[in-house]
Amino acid sequence: MEITKKSILDHIEKAKSGKQGAFNFLLHHFWNEVYGFQMKRVGNEYEAEDITIETFSKAFDKIDTFDPKYTFGTWLITISKNIQIDKYRKKSTSVISHATDTSDEQIKKIPDDSPTPEDILITEQNLAELLRFIKKLKPHYQDVINLRYFQEMSYNEISDTLQEPLNNVKVRLLRAKKLLAEIITQNRKN
Protein backbone atom coordinates (compact mmCIF):
# COMPACT_ATOMS: atom_id res chain seq x y z
CA MET A 1 0.00 0.00 0.00
CA GLU A 2 1.35 3.39 -0.97
CA ILE A 3 1.51 5.83 1.89
CA THR A 4 0.14 9.22 0.89
CA LYS A 5 -0.26 12.48 2.75
CA LYS A 6 -4.00 11.74 2.94
CA SER A 7 -3.44 8.28 4.47
CA ILE A 8 -1.07 9.80 7.04
CA LEU A 9 -3.69 12.44 7.92
CA ASP A 10 -6.31 9.67 8.21
CA HIS A 11 -4.08 7.81 10.67
CA ILE A 12 -3.51 11.03 12.64
CA GLU A 13 -7.27 11.53 12.93
CA LYS A 14 -7.69 7.92 14.08
CA ALA A 15 -4.89 8.45 16.63
CA LYS A 16 -6.66 11.57 17.90
CA SER A 17 -9.67 9.37 18.62
CA GLY A 18 -7.46 6.89 20.49
CA LYS A 19 -7.01 4.07 17.94
CA GLN A 20 -3.89 2.10 18.97
CA GLY A 21 -3.30 0.82 15.42
CA ALA A 22 -2.98 4.40 14.19
CA PHE A 23 -0.34 5.15 16.82
CA ASN A 24 1.54 2.00 15.76
CA PHE A 25 1.40 3.05 12.11
CA LEU A 26 2.70 6.57 12.86
CA LEU A 27 5.48 5.24 15.08
CA HIS A 28 6.55 2.66 12.51
CA HIS A 29 6.34 5.06 9.56
CA PHE A 30 8.22 7.99 11.17
CA TRP A 31 10.60 6.15 13.54
CA ASN A 32 13.60 6.04 11.18
CA GLU A 33 13.20 9.68 10.20
CA VAL A 34 13.28 10.93 13.80
CA TYR A 35 15.91 8.42 14.95
CA GLY A 36 18.17 9.23 11.96
CA PHE A 37 17.82 12.95 12.67
CA GLN A 38 18.88 12.43 16.29
CA MET A 39 21.77 10.10 15.37
CA LYS A 40 23.21 12.91 13.23
CA ARG A 41 22.82 15.38 16.12
CA VAL A 42 23.98 13.35 19.12
CA GLY A 43 26.07 10.58 17.52
CA ASN A 44 25.10 8.07 20.22
CA GLU A 45 22.55 5.38 19.41
CA TYR A 46 21.26 4.99 22.98
CA GLU A 47 20.79 8.71 23.45
CA ALA A 48 19.22 9.02 19.99
CA GLU A 49 16.85 6.16 20.82
CA ASP A 50 15.85 7.67 24.17
CA ILE A 51 15.18 11.07 22.57
CA THR A 52 13.21 9.42 19.76
CA ILE A 53 11.06 7.49 22.24
CA GLU A 54 10.50 10.65 24.26
CA THR A 55 9.59 12.46 21.02
CA PHE A 56 6.87 9.97 20.12
CA SER A 57 5.61 9.88 23.70
CA LYS A 58 5.28 13.66 23.79
CA ALA A 59 3.82 13.82 20.27
CA PHE A 60 1.24 11.13 21.03
CA ASP A 61 0.26 12.86 24.27
CA LYS A 62 -0.21 16.15 22.37
CA ILE A 63 -1.53 14.73 19.09
CA ASP A 64 -4.73 16.77 19.47
CA THR A 65 -2.64 19.93 19.02
CA PHE A 66 -1.23 18.81 15.64
CA ASP A 67 -2.22 21.22 12.85
CA PRO A 68 -2.76 19.34 9.54
CA LYS A 69 -1.51 22.30 7.48
CA TYR A 70 2.01 21.25 8.57
CA THR A 71 3.64 17.92 7.79
CA PHE A 72 3.64 15.40 10.61
CA GLY A 73 7.30 14.49 10.07
CA THR A 74 8.37 18.13 10.44
CA TRP A 75 6.26 18.44 13.60
CA LEU A 76 7.96 15.36 15.07
CA ILE A 77 11.44 16.63 14.15
CA THR A 78 10.68 19.96 15.84
CA ILE A 79 9.58 18.19 19.02
CA SER A 80 12.66 15.97 18.84
CA LYS A 81 15.00 18.91 18.36
CA ASN A 82 13.49 20.73 21.37
CA ILE A 83 13.85 17.65 23.58
CA GLN A 84 17.49 17.24 22.54
CA ILE A 85 18.23 20.94 23.21
CA ASP A 86 16.61 20.70 26.66
CA LYS A 87 18.68 17.60 27.50
CA TYR A 88 21.86 19.33 26.29
CA ARG A 89 21.12 22.41 28.43
CA LYS A 90 20.50 20.28 31.53
CA LYS A 91 23.70 18.34 30.91
CA SER A 92 25.72 21.55 30.38
CA THR A 93 24.34 23.09 33.57
CA SER A 94 25.17 19.93 35.50
CA VAL A 95 28.74 19.82 34.16
CA ILE A 96 29.33 23.50 35.02
CA SER A 97 28.03 23.09 38.56
CA HIS A 98 30.32 20.07 39.14
CA ALA A 99 33.38 21.76 37.68
CA THR A 100 33.70 24.49 40.33
CA ASP A 101 36.75 24.53 42.60
CA THR A 102 36.06 23.23 46.08
CA SER A 103 38.45 23.51 49.03
CA ASP A 104 39.11 20.67 51.47
CA GLU A 105 37.34 22.66 54.20
CA GLN A 106 34.19 22.91 52.08
CA ILE A 107 34.31 19.21 51.24
CA LYS A 108 34.34 18.33 54.96
CA LYS A 109 31.15 20.40 55.41
CA ILE A 110 29.21 18.42 52.79
CA PRO A 111 26.36 16.57 54.52
CA ASP A 112 26.06 12.79 54.42
CA ASP A 113 23.41 11.96 51.82
CA SER A 114 23.24 8.24 52.53
CA PRO A 115 19.67 7.16 53.25
CA THR A 116 18.50 7.02 56.84
CA PRO A 117 16.41 4.06 58.07
CA GLU A 118 13.34 6.31 57.62
CA ASP A 119 14.31 7.02 53.99
CA ILE A 120 14.73 3.30 53.31
CA LEU A 121 11.30 2.55 54.81
CA ILE A 122 9.65 5.28 52.71
CA THR A 123 11.35 3.96 49.56
CA GLU A 124 10.19 0.40 50.30
CA GLN A 125 6.62 1.63 50.93
CA ASN A 126 6.67 3.60 47.66
CA LEU A 127 7.94 0.53 45.79
CA ALA A 128 5.19 -1.63 47.29
CA GLU A 129 2.61 0.98 46.27
CA LEU A 130 4.08 1.17 42.76
CA LEU A 131 3.91 -2.62 42.43
CA ARG A 132 0.22 -2.52 43.45
CA PHE A 133 -0.41 0.05 40.71
CA ILE A 134 1.50 -2.01 38.13
CA LYS A 135 -0.71 -5.03 38.98
CA LYS A 136 -3.73 -2.98 37.86
CA LEU A 137 -2.34 -2.94 34.29
CA LYS A 138 -3.18 -5.64 31.76
CA PRO A 139 -0.66 -8.53 31.86
CA HIS A 140 1.12 -7.60 28.59
CA TYR A 141 1.76 -4.09 29.98
CA GLN A 142 2.95 -5.54 33.31
CA ASP A 143 5.40 -7.77 31.42
CA VAL A 144 7.02 -4.97 29.47
CA ILE A 145 7.34 -2.71 32.57
CA ASN A 146 8.86 -5.58 34.53
CA LEU A 147 11.39 -6.43 31.81
CA ARG A 148 12.44 -2.82 31.25
CA TYR A 149 12.54 -1.38 34.76
CA PHE A 150 12.94 -4.29 37.15
CA GLN A 151 15.06 -6.62 35.02
CA GLU A 152 16.73 -3.63 33.31
CA MET A 153 16.61 -5.18 29.83
CA SER A 154 17.32 -3.15 26.71
CA TYR A 155 14.57 -2.70 24.12
CA ASN A 156 16.29 -5.28 21.90
CA GLU A 157 16.45 -7.81 24.74
CA ILE A 158 12.74 -7.25 25.48
CA SER A 159 11.96 -7.68 21.77
CA ASP A 160 13.85 -11.00 21.74
CA THR A 161 12.28 -12.19 25.01
CA LEU A 162 8.72 -11.40 23.90
CA GLN A 163 9.45 -12.38 20.28
CA GLU A 164 7.88 -9.13 19.11
CA PRO A 165 9.09 -6.42 16.71
CA LEU A 166 11.17 -3.69 18.36
CA ASN A 167 8.72 -0.91 17.45
CA ASN A 168 5.84 -2.84 19.03
CA VAL A 169 7.84 -3.16 22.25
CA LYS A 170 8.54 0.58 22.26
CA VAL A 171 4.90 1.49 21.67
CA ARG A 172 3.72 -0.99 24.31
CA LEU A 173 6.17 0.45 26.84
CA LEU A 174 5.06 4.01 26.03
CA ARG A 175 1.44 2.99 26.42
CA ALA A 176 2.15 1.08 29.65
CA LYS A 177 3.91 4.10 31.18
CA LYS A 178 1.05 6.39 30.18
CA LEU A 179 -1.59 4.04 31.63
CA LEU A 180 0.46 3.61 34.81
CA ALA A 181 0.74 7.38 35.19
CA GLU A 182 -3.04 7.66 34.81
CA ILE A 183 -3.61 4.98 37.47
CA ILE A 184 -1.20 6.69 39.87
CA THR A 185 -2.76 10.13 39.27
CA GLN A 186 -6.25 8.75 39.78
CA ASN A 187 -5.26 7.03 43.03
CA ARG A 188 -3.54 10.16 44.34
CA LYS A 189 -6.80 12.11 43.86
CA ASN A 190 -8.83 9.57 45.86
For the stretch 128-178, pLDDT in tens is 777 888 898 898 888 998 898 888 888 899 999 999 888 888 888 888 888
CATH of domain 5-98: 1.10.1740.10
pLDDT given for residue 50 in this prediction: 87
Can 5-98 and 113-189 be said to share one CATH topology? Answer: no
Cα dihedral sign, 92-95-99-104: positive
pTM above 0.85, yes or no: no
Rounded Cα gap, residues 59 and 134, in angstroms: 24
**pLDDT in the model for residue 75:** 92
* Sequence-separated (6 or more) residues with CB below 8 Å from residue 166: 155, 156, 159
Residue-range domain boundaries for the chain: 5-98, 113-189
In this structure, CATH architecture of domain 113-189: Orthogonal Bundle (1.10)
144 burial type by CB count under 10 A (0-12 exposed, 13-18 middle, 19+ buried): buried
Q: How far apart are CA 2 and CA 4, in angstroms?
A: 6
